[in-house]
Chain A
Amino acid sequence: MCFQQKRLFHVLTAFITTFASIAYFALAVGDGVYLKEITVKESQKHVPDTFQTIFREVYWARYVDWVVTTPLLLLDLALLAGLSGANITVALISDIILILTGLFAALTNDVNAQWGYYAIAVIAYLVVVYQLAINGRNIASTKDSKTATFYAAIGGFTLIIWTIYPMYVLILIN
């Protein structure tokens, strides 16, 4: 790994932590939160229907954070593996689609729309997985063993953590 790459990785990672720290600062001071109004109808047998209004917090600041930091994170991994420019572009755009559809799903009250956004997000996620786990690993395996092992370790860890999130969201939608 040459010096210029090392420097690039450090700068990208510094950007990631900078954006993340701003987002957590917003959360720590109580900003970056949108209250989504949800009306729940309860049907009664002998009396008129009742309606209950509840507010659910949506942390839009986190999505703004992720739409910047996750592409940078992927760029770090892609450059480490040595992916081509076209493959990196596909991975980054898919990742942005993944985060934005997550935000739209969080903001909408329509359960059907949530499933639609979820489906789009899953497709985008699979594209990211394909680029990292298939293309990235193939190219990384042609490099020296230290780089290949390091890529497999941090790439695998990233994908495992990123898989927990959609599974948890799936539980929430249900």
Chain B
Amino acid sequence: MLAIVLYGELKLVHGHSRTWFVLIYARVVFVLQALSSIAFYALAYRQPVVSTRSHIMRWWRS
């Protein structure tokens, strides 16, 4: 899996957009990223609501 991702990314760095591999790779990664977004939003909003402002102020002063 990691090898496929590395291969795809290095192909993109080198500038090979129209090969069948890169086109399929981009589509697959797009779907996986979009699904991950939904999952992370769902996970985030399962946490209780708290004041963000106080957290940010505490962080800035830390």
The answer to whether A21 touches B33, judged by C-beta atoms less than 8 angstroms apart, is yes
| A28 CB contacts on chain B under 8 angstroms | 23, 26-27, 30
CA distance A82 to B61 in the complex (A): 11
- Place the interface of chain B in its size category: 20 to 34
> How many contacts A-B (CB < 8 Å)?
89
CA distance A11 to B60 in the complex (A): 19
The answer to whether B44 touches A7, judged by C-beta atoms less than 8 angstroms apart, is yes
Decide: A85 near B55, CB < 8 A? Known: A3-B47, A14-B40, A21-B33.
no
The answer to whether B16 touches A57, judged by C-beta atoms less than 8 angstroms apart, is yes
Stretch touching chain B among A41-49, A111-119, A124-132, A165-173: A165-173
| A8 CB contacts on chain B under 8 angstroms | 52, 55
Main secondary structure of the interface of B (DSSP, over half): helix
Question: Which of B6, B18, B37, B50 touches A21 (beta carbons < 8 Å)?
Answer: B37
Q: Is A53 an interface residue (CB 8 A)?
A: no
Main secondary structure of the interface of A (DSSP, over half): helix
User: What is the size, in residues, of chain A's interface with B at 8 Å between Cβ atoms?
Assistant: 34
CA distance A17 to B6 in the complex (A): 18
| B47 CB contacts on chain A under 8 angstroms | 3-4, 6-7, 10
Decide: A24 near B44, CB < 8 A? Known: A165-B13, A172-B13.
no
List residues 8-49 of chain B with CB under 8 A from any CB of chain A. Answer: 10, 12-18, 22-23, 26-27, 29-30, 33-34, 36-37, 40-41, 43-45, 47-48
The answer to whether A11 touches B27, judged by C-beta atoms less than 8 angstroms apart, is no
Question: Which of B15, B29, B59 touches A59 (beta carbons < 8 Å)?
Answer: B15
